[in-house]
Structure 1
């Protein structure tokens, strides 16, 4: 009887292994996977459409995610990277990390045309300095900010996509005068944090008058906290746009499941979660379908953005300018 029992046991184990759901590993930024972020709801919604186990892996802020993928290389367990933006996508492709998605996106509501064979967008927004509504003499451009006593917290462009976005914002608005602007801002900067969460937390604790964030950030306070005491400063130069994207890793062992996730990303099951968890504009949702309160947000007069290739070409020089100014 023992051989029969052993054989039966092995059969059961083999059947259990065969029936095990495939795992889809998605590298993303920490706030996406937080209990209050979009990750938990999206995980539940996608798993309801697939016979799979979706696992989000937080890896710091957006730029830190790219650094981890570069370090891991072919050893990475990641199937999808979610949370890079167009300031980083060219670097990811150049590093040989990405596969083409082969999908034709439908229903996009971005304010720009999208045509990228490696990445699809899931949300977008404008960088801005957020402040409490009772702040007096709010600066209306970078020159006024530099000339003021207003204190700010910003993020490190080497680890944070908002930090890198600020570099691109200043570079786009001022070009050859960028060094002058950074030299003027140096005295306003209280500290530079690794990521967005740390910076916003310091701002809420009263450590600075303003924090680098998004024009959509006040919607969180208005909708989630019923607090209308926050605003985003409108800058005369315009505001730099961030488009957050996801793509399939070239080394993924689940490419079909990864493609299914990217398709799901542009459906209501994903997009409807974004406004009140990630507090950004969804990439595939008409403005009239946004939650009440989004209509009260600061609307930039000019949208600034570099192409992915332009951002890659100027990144090192912009970073050196920033480091030089802050080290003096």
Structure 2
């Protein structure tokens, strides 16, 4: 009897119409840069936190830097597999928007805490800081007080990054241009003999600084808290300049070709929540774009504030970046 029932059941199953397979877990593909997805970066924590509430899988694809990120997007065009691009900055947003690859976000940006007003319909900011020359206090007891002082009166060796491949490198290019204007080539000519090397990205030049190869490097105003909190070392300082320091605001955007546009919008909104923002000061080592209840660590509260936030309109950078880089290349090749 049991065998008969079993056989009948198996026959019924075999003859029954096939049921649709359960929906696969959606995969949100996020393009970003390597330091974001590193083991010590915010990526692993953010992936875990967002997956816990989205019913999805977050898949990161990383490149060296924000400039390299834009280059990859241009190369892939509408065939890009990304849903979200995270890691461009204000110097690249107009150029990125002009590609037509991005779609407007669906969120409200009424709780931001930035040094500038924000009304971009496409890009959502998630962190910010100022570029700064970081130095070893044991070797540089009296750091330059201005960019002109560094260029014209200092004998300090330093490392910088290439503006063609690095967002800090591009930031320095624009910083020098803002201070020196048409005299920027002369400024680069004066600085060039003291530049030990120009690296493709931030990590290489900062690594040389930490190995003691140079007493100063181009980095961020918010770099010292890392050394205080992680290494218990307060001998790393960041110079604030009289002319002001150049501002960087990092952003993310949704691609128009996103396979999961609603999920992409959820991720962009998630970026402005405490679950995302509270990770940034101690993994990304940047200021969060939104104030949260957790606040900033004490090491951040000791940082100086530049007298002015220098920043070109993104549209101007898009129009002139290629020419300014050519100008820089010519000055550095002489």
TM-score band by shorter chain is over 0.9
| Structure 1: distance between partners of 2:148 and 2:111 | 39
| Structure 2: distance between partners of 1:188 and 1:4 | 83
Deviation at 1:314, TM superposition (A): 2.4
Deviation at 1:252, TM superposition (A): 0.7
Mapped pair 1:211 → 2:228: no
Deviation at 1:179, TM superposition (A): 1.4
Q: 1:145 aligns with which of 136, 146, 150?
A: 150
CA pair 85-170 structure 1, distance change in 2 beyond 3 A: same
Q: Name the structure 2 match of 1:231.
A: 237
CA contact (8 A) 2:136 2:237 kept: yes
CA contact (8 A) 2:277 2:292 kept: no
* Length-normalised TM-score, structure 1: 0.94
Deviates most, 314-323 or 39-48: 314-323
CA pair 106-11 structure 1, distance change in 2 beyond 3 A: farther
CA contact (8 A) 2:65 2:166 kept: yes
SS in 1 for 2:53: coil
CA contact (8 A) 2:254 2:261 kept: yes
SS in 1 for 2:212: coil
Q: Name the structure 2 match of 1:78.
A: 82
| Structure 2: distance between partners of 1:244 and 1:123 | 5
| Structure 1: distance between partners of 2:324 and 2:304 | 27
Mapped pair 1:184 → 2:190: yes
| Structure 2: distance between partners of 1:57 and 1:33 | 8
CA contact (8 A) 2:278 2:292 kept: no
Number of residues of Structure 1 aligned to a counterpart in Structure 2: 325
Mapped pair 1:253 → 2:276: no
| Structure 1: distance between partners of 2:142 and 2:107 | 48
Q: Name the structure 2 match of 1:158.
A: 164
Q: Name the structure 2 match of 1:43.
A: 47
CA pair 4-322 structure 1, distance change in 2 beyond 3 A: farther
Unaligned runs of 5+ in 2: 1-6
Give deviations 1:110-151, integer Å, cap 9, x for gaps: 111100111010000000000111223422223322232211
| Structure 2: distance between partners of 1:80 and 1:59 | 14
| Structure 2: distance between partners of 1:286 and 1:300 | 23
Deviation at 1:180, TM superposition (A): 1.5
Q: Name the structure 1 match of 2:299.
A: 293
Q: Name the structure 2 match of 1:263.
A: 269
Q: 2:200 aligns with which of 174, 194, 199?
A: 194
Q: Name the structure 2 match of 1:101.
A: 105
**Aligned-residue CA RMSD (Å):** 2.2
Q: Name the structure 2 match of 1:284.
A: 290
SS in 1 for 2:298: coil
Q: 1:130 aligns with which of 134, 157, 166?
A: 134
Q: Name the structure 2 match of 1:324.
A: 330
SS in 1 for 2:127: strand
Unaligned runs of 5+ in 1: none
Larger radius of gyration: 2
